[in-house]
Amino acid sequence: MYPSQEPQTEPMNVTPIPASPRPAAAFVRHRARPRWGLGALLWEREGKRSYRFEDGAARTFKRGYYHLLTPTKPPASMTELELRELAADARGGASTGLRAQLELFLAAFPGGFEDPRWLADRRGVGVRRALKRHREPVLAAAAERLALAAIDRRIDAGEHGELWAEVVELLARTDLLPPSQRRGLEAVVAGPALSRALRDFLHGVDEEALRFEAMRRALGSAAWSWALATTLRALVDPLGEVPVRPSVFAAQARATGASLTASRAPSARAYHGYLRLARDVRDWLIAQGMRPRDLIDVHDFIWETMRPAAQRAMKERARGRARPAEPVAEASAA
């Protein structure tokens, strides 16, 4: 959750400076409050400037105290998404972008990714009966059945049909792949070419574009989909790969100002854009004190907060909190 804002007091032994101030810096650090972190300019008007800092608080400074704010450049480690979210305008009391999403998420799961309800309902931790929305059971099965050694054993034994049957059965355990697409996979004819393409797609080191194309050819264009390709990848490597729902990820990109390469069929280039977006969202969540276990948690966060029903809920929250623009806090503190 966001840190509570500290009560602000007038500085001690500081003489206001009446001279005309320089133009507002886009990014600053407060000389006496380094723990606030980097501050991004939100607005400037009527002799005041408002900045949001990395600790989550937006603070307003009167003219005469601008000298306490040292202009600075963001560290190279900060992503463009993190910088955009830091500078997202908070006027009117309604958050935008990832901040609004996090508020909605925490309203449903106050403990974030460690919330008992999230762990039970989404991760499937400690449940007696695994459901398709539960992540831990299917991840455990994939770690056993789609490991490189397990795939190689099937290939060496010529068990291509058995290998593909295990893939289809695994995908049937999760809601990451729509039922209509799972039925199409049952008609795929398994053979050495498909087994080799699957092995290389999940564990190979060749150029990504070649691995994507080889898997598409082996499967056939009718069975090749974003959900299939990215779910397989994420089940094998949930820390490094992400399942993709293009429509919801496109909504996430619009909300955060990220650019994506549109592609109806899965491609390496387009997937890298989706993966970069997911990793940026993960890094932003971590910076807010959240602890997603993997990129599947990030996928589920995006789904929970960007699907149409969630977007309607965010709009309702924004309308309910709308008010005339006022400074968030008088923060002329030293």
Both 277 and 218 in one domain: the answer is no
Query: CB neighbours (10 Å) of residue 290?
Result: 19
Q: Report the candidate in 106, 131, 107, 110 with the shortest Cα–Cα distance to residue 121.
A: 131
Both 143 and 281 in one domain: the answer is no
Residue 325 confidence (pLDDT):
37
- Quick check: is 250 in a domain? yes
Residue 327 confidence (pLDDT):
39
Helix/strand/coil for 99: helix
Q: Report the candidate in 248, 287, 290 with the shortest Cα–Cα distance to residue 114.
A: 290
- Quick check: is 23 in a domain? no
- Quick check: is 162 in a domain? yes
Q: Report the candidate in 303, 301, 295, 290 with the shortest Cα–Cα distance to residue 275.
A: 295
Both 160 and 225 in one domain: the answer is yes
Residue 17 confidence (pLDDT):
41
Both 248 and 192 in one domain: the answer is no
Both 141 and 215 in one domain: the answer is yes
Both 192 and 315 in one domain: the answer is no
The rounded average pLDDT for each run of 10 residues, N- to C-terminus, in the chain (334 residues) is 46 47 80 90 85 85 88 82 68 61 93 97 94 97 97 97 96 93 88 97 95 95 93 97 94 86 90 95 91 97 90 68 42 42
Distance between CA atoms of residues 221 and 79, nearest Å: 35
End-to-end CA distance of the chain: 25
- Quick check: is 200 in a domain? yes
Structural domain count of the chain: 2
Both 248 and 181 in one domain: the answer is no
Both 143 and 222 in one domain: the answer is yes
- Quick check: is 171 in a domain? yes
Residue 317 confidence (pLDDT):
64
| Angle value at C-alpha 311, between 306 and 312, nearest 5 degrees | 155
User: 73 Cβ partners below 8 Å, 6+ apart?
Assistant: 27
Last residue in a domain, options 181, 209, 236: 236
Last residue in a domain, options 181, 216, 236: 236
Both 145 and 228 in one domain: the answer is yes
Both 112 and 245 in one domain: the answer is yes
- Quick check: is 20 in a domain? no
Both 149 and 279 in one domain: the answer is no
Distance between CA atoms of residues 76 and 72, nearest Å: 12
Residue 279 is part of which domain span? 102-126+241-319
One-letter identity of residue 27: F
Distance between CA atoms of residues 146 and 173, nearest Å: 14
